[in-house]
Structure 1
Amino acid sequence: MVTSTTDVLIVGAGPTGLVLAADLARRGTRAMLVERADALFPGSRGKGLQPRTQEVLYDLGVLDAIYAAGTAYPTMLLWEGDEPGQEWDMLERTEPTEEVPFADGWLVPQARTQEVLYARLRELGGEVRFGTGLAGLEQDAEGVTARFEDGSVVRAAYLVAADGGRSTVRKALGIGMTGEAVDAKPMLVADVRITPDAPVPDTHWHVWPKAPEGGVAFCPLPSDAGRLFQLAAQYTDETAVPDTSPAGVAKLLATRTPLREEHVAEVLWTSDFRARAALADRFREGRVFLAGDAAHIHSPAGGQGLNTSVQDAYNLSWKLTAVLAGAPERLLDTYEEERLPVAADILGISTRIHRAGVLDKGARRGEEVQQLGIGYRESALTRETRTDLAEGALRAGDRAPDGRRGGIRLFDTFQGPHWTLLSVGTDPELPSLPGKSIRTARIPAYEAYGTGVFLVRPDGYVAWAGETAQGLETYLTELGIGAAGR
């Protein structure tokens, strides 16, 4: 017996599910977000937000709240036992530019990121059904029927699995994951509040790479209550079983760092794991999609997992809305086409960073982790009609840069659920596109774009580019974007 219906059922209220639900809500698409747990995830796990993800959060209208909840990454401080030593910067810091206004990673505990996203979802009229575990699902040509442990049944046009690395949905579909152990040695992660007299300052990210029994990193976290740190400890013994109890965490710190057990005032959250890298064999099965950790599992090195997951949701949301409004079903094929290769590449990056030594001085992270270079030039959605472009020129499929020209800020023009038709440094006749959710803007010549006409997707990538608008209406008709009105 079906107890409720929706257009999109999202399983899992982590960052992926919350971004997807919020973006669907602002598009006016009916969605239901369910979560097996009784509350949002409480820990710091995915604590780094990369520049591209900050752009997504700007578009969603939550970046100011994210900045208020976080801080810039601290510099690293290398310890030899009880003695502090050299400092170094793990990040290759860069200055903001007109094209890239958010240049460096931002440190925000995952729990705070989720709180901000949840607040935005509620502002948009959405909600999370907590304590709702999935028991099973079936699908047919018209939709998906999901059964829950509380006996309720939901019928949806589409279902998105955002339920993590141990995804119930992925297992129910029989979709395998291909992967490897990045590191056979176990790790423990914990959020620890320490006393005011604990002998480590809040100004640095402290590392003891040569600590007995395994290296330790101790990163200060923004907290209104103060003196909160994320502990990440590795074990040299592959057979070790991490003690995740508060007493076990305090003992580990006392054994490996200058802190004593009495310096641990509170242990808020703990987890143990072995670093893995794995990729789902496919990201779609009929009317069901995999996103976030349900589709790809990363080593935490390089801060790539949460960021890749957020961008999965950002890629999928506008496509679901368009198809539900009448665009051809084949538009949804481009989700896997675009995101699976990206996830595979990023898995390689995080694995390389981990194996290079995440606690070693000199291990620095630059452009490869910022995700600004991700693009979809080979996508079926991409049309580049210009010829003889210079090397390095912006092309269809690339991220659309920010900038201010002619009294217009581009990111503000792009912000929202619409497409943007942008004329740069030229004044061609543009097609009239009434009721098609395509905003038109004209700006003077701008070196980040060159000159021409650019159609920017709702997720901030150039879909179509030309010297004039010739062929644009045909492109929109082929994709069904005009017919969909989205």
Structure 2
Amino acid sequence: MHTEVIICGAGPTGLMLANWLQRLGVAHRILDPKPGPTKQSRALAVQARSLEIYDQLGMIDQVRDRLVPARVVQPGWRDRPTRGSIPLARLGAELSPYGGMHVLEQSENERLLLEQLRASGGKVDYGQEVIDQRERPGGVHVGVRTGDRTETLTGRWLVGADGSSSPTRERAGIAFPGSTHEQHFWVADAFEVRGLRENAVNLRLSEEHPLIGFPMTGSRHHRLVGVLPRQTEPTEEAARADLAQRFGVRWGRSEWFSPYRVHSRVAEHFRRGAVLLAGDAAHVHSPVGGQGMNTGLQDAHNLAFTLAAVIGGAPDSLLDLYETERRPVARRLVSTVDRIYAFAVDPSALARTTRRLLVPVAAPVVATMLPRLPLSRRLIGYVQQTRIRYPMPSPDRGRRSDPVVGRRLPWTGDNHQVLRSADWQVHSYGAALPAVAELPPQIRRVHRFEPRRDLGLDAERWFLIRPDGFVAAAARPAEARTIFVDVLRAQAAPAD
């Protein structure tokens, strides 16, 4: 009853972590009190960066077959769509092989990840609930209840991927500061929807609150997300009446309807001793922008490689890097989403007047002008989570900010396929292929591509790429070995 990593929670985050640990040869157990995968659709948007991770894991074909593309954002005011729309797919096409936003509900993500895990020899222990955790020298002891039977499982690390009310986080004594918004949100999977544009993310605003509609599989099938007026009972009947009156949107039957309160919270720490947090256990926020599930998937991706390095011989302190890199991402995301949410639902007279006067005029202008502005690449990069930057030093550039170090490797059209090997590698974007003999022993692959100075991939430097696809360092060839050795000493397991 011992393993290296115990994962609490088999949602998308926990399953992604289990898949990568399985791929990296790290012994683990993933436990979930549910009898099986989630049946409800729940979270639904899948961004480009998450699809890149699915590609690296070797399951992009299965995922792509199930995607519903959201090619545009169609803004609108009350019951009227604006002239023009924001072309998500076109704006993101130069940034990723999977540019734009796609829809794949949580239940499908879980099903596909579970199939992949089983195909690679792993499994999920459903019906097993963690009821206790105690840190001991060398790891953690976990009490597990299965029906009427209780047993103890020991592991070196315990990962809480068990949702926003995470018992793992609470037992570890990690604070979850933030706020809970007063208004009741509601969410519905609705069929026979009338009043929305198909194959688009519909964003309608009004003086009081917004409506967001995501396309789902099948004609006139949409995920609807709304806010009920204050002092209104949170029922589907109330939501139907409000949408019909305010936005001119009606639907036939619904497969799922749920009211909920929006929380904006980030855990005080993502690691405490042998306990780590990921996904909703570490951060929650409004569904605006379809970012939540994606952030959890990327937590898992980052954490898997860090755990594998530590288990492979890197110092335990390397796990502090997980919090250093991922917690600022969550904080920025929660802050940004909160500002957008606040603008959309602020009940003050000034805010209502501003929305009434500004949105009907500004939305068509934004939809028309945004694709023409250089700023559009930056904005779509944030939406599809390809502009994330981790705090890595750049010895080659001193105090100047490097355009690529600390970022996910910019996509050039053919340089992401080699990331499927999930190892440390060096890239040259010039005339010469780096010589393996000149590089540290952890680096066994080198690749050459055409230079892309516009993306920061210039011909004068070599680039050290981490197994997760982020650029760890850049250096001129004469200095590369020295700089790369320093980075690998800090972030990688010793060479065999």
Find the counterpart in structure 1 of residue 267 from structure 2.
Answer: 280
Find the counterpart in structure 2 of residue 171 from structure 1.
Answer: 170
Q: Is the 8 A contact 2:312 2:493 kept in 1?
A: no
Tell me the TM-score normalized by structure 2: 0.82
Find the counterpart in structure 1 of residue 486 from structure 2.
Answer: 475
Alignment of 1:329 with 2:324, yes or no, is no
Residue 43 of structure 1: how far off its partner (Å): 2.9
Q: Deviations over 1:338-396 (max 9, x none)?
A: 111111111111112222328966387744322222112x34xx5x232489x885342
Q: Deviations over 1:178-207 (max 9, x none)?
A: 1123x4110111223349xx6767455556
Structure 1 counterpart SS, 2:494: helix
Q: In structure 2, do the counterparts of structure 1 residues 412 and 214 end up closer, same or farther at CA, with 3 Å as the change threshold?
A: closer
Amino acid corresponding to residue 165 of structure 1 in structure 2: S
Residue 252 of structure 1: how far off its partner (Å): 6.7
Q: Is the 8 A contact 1:47 1:110 kept in 2?
A: yes
Find the counterpart in structure 2 of residue 421 from structure 1.
Answer: 426
Q: How does 1:308-347 map to 2 (within 5 A)?
A: 308-347=295-334
Identity %: 29
Q: Is the 8 A contact 1:79 1:206 kept in 2?
A: no
Q: Distance between the aligned counterparts of 1:236 and 1:101, measured in 2?
A: 41
Q: Which region of structure 1 is more displaced relative to structure 2, 45-54 or 346-355?
A: 45-54
Q: Is the 8 A contact 1:161 1:291 kept in 2?
A: yes
Alignment of 1:356 with 2:343, yes or no, is yes
Q: In structure 2, do the counterparts of structure 1 residues 72 and 88 end up closer, same or farther at CA, with 3 Å as the change threshold?
A: farther
Q: Distance between the aligned counterparts of 1:215 and 1:482, measured in 2?
A: 49
Structure 1 counterpart SS, 2:170: helix
Q: In structure 2, do the counterparts of structure 1 residues 434 and 341 end up closer, same or farther at CA, with 3 Å as the change threshold?
A: closer
Residue 208 of structure 1: how far off its partner (Å): 6.2
Amino acid corresponding to residue 149 of structure 1 in structure 2: R
Unmatched segments (≥5 aa) in structure 2: 346-354, 368-378
Q: Which region of structure 1 is more displaced relative to structure 2, 128-137 or 361-370?
A: 361-370
Q: Distance between the aligned counterparts of 2:443 and 2:485, measured in 1?
A: 17
Alignment of 1:219 with 2:209, yes or no, is no
Find the counterpart in structure 2 of residue 412 from structure 1.
Answer: 417
Structure 2 counterpart SS, 1:431: helix
Q: Deviations over 1:61-111 (max 9, x none)?
A: 222322221222155374756xx6545535655345565333211122222
Q: Is the 8 A contact 1:47 1:108 kept in 2?
A: yes
Q: Is the 8 A contact 2:18 2:30 kept in 1?
A: yes
* Counterpart pick for 1:396 among 405, 409, 416: 405
Q: Distance between the aligned counterparts of 1:80 and 1:11, measured in 2?
A: 43
**Count of residues paired in the alignment:** 459
Q: Which region of structure 1 is more displaced relative to structure 2, 347-356 or 282-291?
A: 347-356
Q: Is the 8 A contact 2:130 2:142 kept in 1?
A: yes
Residue 57 of structure 1: how far off its partner (Å): 1.8
Q: Is the 8 A contact 2:91 2:380 kept in 1?
A: no
Q: Which region of structure 1 is more displaced relative to structure 2, 409-418 or 214-223?
A: 214-223
Q: Is the 8 A contact 1:159 1:289 kept in 2?
A: yes
Find the counterpart in structure 1 of residue 351 from structure 2.
Answer: none
Find the counterpart in structure 1 of residue 252 from structure 2.
Answer: 264
Amino acid corresponding to residue 122 of structure 1 in structure 2: R
Find the counterpart in structure 1 of residue 449 from structure 2.
Answer: 443
Find the counterpart in structure 1 of residue 235 from structure 2.
Answer: 243
Bigger share in helix: 2
Find the counterpart in structure 2 of residue 156 from structure 1.
Answer: 155
Q: Distance between the aligned counterparts of 1:33 and 1:437, measured in 2?
A: 31
Residue 137 of structure 1: how far off its partner (Å): 0.5
Alignment of 1:51 with 2:48, yes or no, is yes
* Counterpart pick for 1:70 among 67, 71, 79: 67
Q: In structure 2, do the counterparts of structure 1 residues 296 and 438 end up closer, same or farther at CA, with 3 Å as the change threshold?
A: farther
Q: Deviations over 1:260-314 (max 9, x none)?
A: 7xx634x333322122211111111111100111011111111121111111111
Residue 6 of structure 1: how far off its partner (Å): 1.5
* Counterpart pick for 1:374 among 375, 380, 388: 388
Residue 437 of structure 1: how far off its partner (Å): 6.3
User: RMSD in angstroms over aligned alpha carbons?
Assistant: 3.1
Structure 2 counterpart SS, 1:332: helix
Q: Distance between the aligned counterparts of 1:433 and 1:264, measured in 2?
A: 63
* Counterpart pick for 1:463 among 458, 467, 472: 472
Q: Which region of structure 1 is more displaced relative to structure 2, 198-207 or 170-179?
A: 198-207
Tell me the TM-score normalized by structure 1: 0.84
Q: Is the 8 A contact 1:99 1:402 kept in 2?
A: yes
Unmatched segments (≥5 aa) in structure 1: none
Q: Distance between the aligned counterparts of 1:411 and 1:483, measured in 2?
A: 25
Amino acid corresponding to residue 467 of structure 2 in structure 1: P
Q: Distance between the aligned counterparts of 1:301 and 1:446, measured in 2?
A: 34
Find the counterpart in structure 2 of residue 30 from structure 1.
Answer: 27
Q: In structure 2, do the counterparts of structure 1 residues 210 and 403 end up closer, same or farther at CA, with 3 Å as the change threshold?
A: closer
Structure 2 counterpart SS, 1:483: coil
Residue 416 of structure 1: how far off its partner (Å): 2.9
Q: Distance between the aligned counterparts of 1:32 and 1:437, measured in 2?
A: 30
Q: Distance between the aligned counterparts of 2:88 and 2:446, measured in 1?
A: 37
Q: In structure 2, do the counterparts of structure 1 residues 254 and 102 end up closer, same or farther at CA, with 3 Å as the change threshold?
A: closer
* Counterpart pick for 2:109 among 110, 113, 116: 113
Q: Is the 8 A contact 1:26 1:417 kept in 2?
A: no
Residue 423 of structure 1: how far off its partner (Å): 2.7
* Counterpart pick for 1:385 among 395, 412, 415: 395
